[in-house]
Structure 1
Amino acid sequence: MAEQPDFGRFDVLLLDIEGTVCPISFVKDVLVSPARLFIVLPASSTPLLLRLPLFVPSNAAEKKWLTFDGPFAQFPYALNVLPDFLAEQWDEPSFAGYRNAFPDDYRNDRSAFEAHVRDLVARDVKAPYLKALQGHLWTKGYESGVLKAPLFPDVPPFITNAHAAGKKIMIYSSGSVPAQKLLFAHTTAQPPDMSVVISDWFDTVNAGPKTDVASYTTILSHHPDISPARWIFLSDNLSEVDAARQSGMHSIPAVRPGNAPLPSHHPLSEFAVSEFTPASIAQAAAAIAAKTSA
């Protein structure tokens, strides 16, 4: 007999970020109109919303579609503000640590420094000192209100209601824990700070690679009082879903706007959820349990 859907049996909702609770795609099919927010989605780490003073003629179509491609789309905000930021902060003690982390050839010349940053971004070089600078600039952008992290519309009520029902909300992302906290503290939700309902945070440092079963076992070990069967992990990555399930957790794949289609040959693809509601999650979990136990 098939297991009946029951969202109440889950005590922990473990959530991926990119492609699960917010968009993963580069800037694609983006709605732009005067004084509106438009999405800027880096290929790695934090998705962002950026408010731009764009002018759309009154006779233009209501929808203006823009597509950005190439590695510069990963660093839109940082590259845009970099010249003014360097002009203001170059000799400030608070910037010295970021500046001195760069190679000797660039740390003493502002123009060379900026050119080096742009070169690294153009070549998609993931240098640690570049990531540190990126994080610093993004922090300032978030705190100023210029940057906001976009969440899919169903995510804030889903998380808020689950938290109100006594469930623990936890995050597991390849982005660092500090970046996760920054993202959830500055979202497009109302109120914008969603970090207050998150009870724990995991990344590839404190848990491990997201496709390794051992990483989910490590996460479970942080909360030994909660049975693995009371956990459910939501992710757009089937390899991550498989790894979580092998640890004893329940896990469901997500298909969200902008994601690539899931491979049809994978046995769990047919159970992917496209919206986050207690009913959809419970039904998918029950269907997967029935299929895998048959």
Structure 2
Amino acid sequence: MKKTRNKLSPPQKFPFALRALPAVLATQWNTSTFIPYRQAFPPQHSASPATLQAHVEDLTNRDVKIAYLKDLQGFLWESGFETGEYATPLFDDVVPRLREWRERGVGLGVYSSGSVVAQKLLFRHVSVHVGEAARVGGKGGAGGGGGKQVSSPSSAEGHRAAETEDLRDLVTEGGWFDTTNAGLKTEASSYGKIVETLGWHAARTLFLTDNVGEYDAAASAGLRVILLDRPGNAPVSAADMARMDVVQSLDDIELVEK
């Protein structure tokens, strides 16, 4: 699965990380907890809080995907998630559809350029929409993914913390993949490795993505593939749209036993 979260620009993707960073740099620069994260950055960019701040902002604005930045973002996210400052926004069709599929015995996996640690953090703190809490949280779903939790109010920002639920149990055991344990997302071999690891058959595995290169790689590996055309996606050419299976919502997908 990919493309279940709302599409945001790079600074919008990591607003809490950027907002929280100055305070962390000021209060935790020499702590044993934070030192490994700052030391992972190149020395010329981690010589002082100011240089590290500037480098992180630059990498974020350019949407650079690099391990030490992801690790730092994960550290900042975890703090924000735990205090209720941040929650994972999903498209409205996602949770009901995933629960339905799990109830039918369909295995679910995640393959993302974000680390497995980050994936689990995001799925652990999924935002419950106002007015949707009863519908989304009240249906347990196969795999036990109905563990809704309400975070305590945040005193730091003076507003009520996000209401979230833990959806990690919707994902099949061992079904978390990133570019470290599976490989690059534009290489067919990565998808072959995933289905082999899970013991699935490629022809009976559906991969959902918003990326043409990933679509082609997964299809080359023998998987069924659908492009999710979500608001905010990168433009896809008319020629590519014409040759691919495309939907706008998970509600447009029907899984049929054969």
* TM-score relative to the length of structure 2: 0.74
| CA displacement at 1:233 relative to structure 2 | 1.1
| CA displacement at 1:157 relative to structure 2 | 0.4
Tell me whether 1:282 sits opposite 2:254 in the alignment: yes
Match of 2:239 in 1: 265
CA distance in 2, matches of 1:258, 1:198: 25
Query: Residue deviations 1:190-220, cap 9 Å, x none?
Result: 4321111101011112112222211111112
Does structure 1 retain, via aligned residues, the 8 Å contact 2:203–2:223?
yes
Measured on the aligned residues, the alpha-carbon RMSD in Å equals 2.7
* Aligned partner (choices 156, 159, 166) of residue 193 of structure 1: 166
Does structure 2 retain, via aligned residues, the 8 Å contact 1:253–1:268?
no
CA distance in 2, matches of 1:101, 1:207: 23
Query: Residue deviations 1:115-144, cap 9 Å, x none?
Result: 454455566665543333222111111121
Does structure 1 retain, via aligned residues, the 8 Å contact 2:70–2:115?
no
The amino acid that maps onto 2:6 is: P
CA distance in 1, matches of 2:232, 2:89: 13
Tell me whether 1:148 sits opposite 2:105 in the alignment: no
Query: Residue deviations 1:116-175, cap 9 Å, x none?
Result: 544555666655433332221111111211111111000000011111111111011121
Q: How does 1:163-202 map to 2 (within 5 A)?
A: 163-189=102-128, 190=137, 191=148, 192-199=165-172, 200-202=175-177
Match of 1:96 in 2: 35
Q: 1:180 to 1:83 in 2, by over 3 A?
A: same
Tell me whether 1:245 sits opposite 2:219 in the alignment: yes
Tell me whether 1:227 sits opposite 2:227 in the alignment: no
Which structure's CA Rg is the greater one?
A: 1
Match of 2:193 in 1: 218
Does structure 1 retain, via aligned residues, the 8 Å contact 2:182–2:194?
yes
CA distance in 1, matches of 2:204, 2:38: 47
Calculate percent identity across the aligned residue pairs: 41
| CA displacement at 1:188 relative to structure 2 | 1.3
CA distance in 1, matches of 2:125, 2:233: 23
Match of 2:182 in 1: 207
CA distance in 2, matches of 1:109, 1:213: 42
Query: Residue deviations 1:227-251, cap 9 Å, x none?
Result: 2222111112233223222222211
The amino acid that maps onto 2:100 is: N
* TM-score relative to the length of structure 1: 0.65
CA distance in 2, matches of 1:252, 1:110: 44
Unmatched segments (≥5 aa) in structure 1: 1-14, 27-41, 43-71, 287-294
Unmatched segments (≥5 aa) in structure 2: 129-136, 138-147, 149-164
RCO higher in 1 or 2 (8 Å CA, sep ≥ 6)?
1
Match of 1:132 in 2: 71
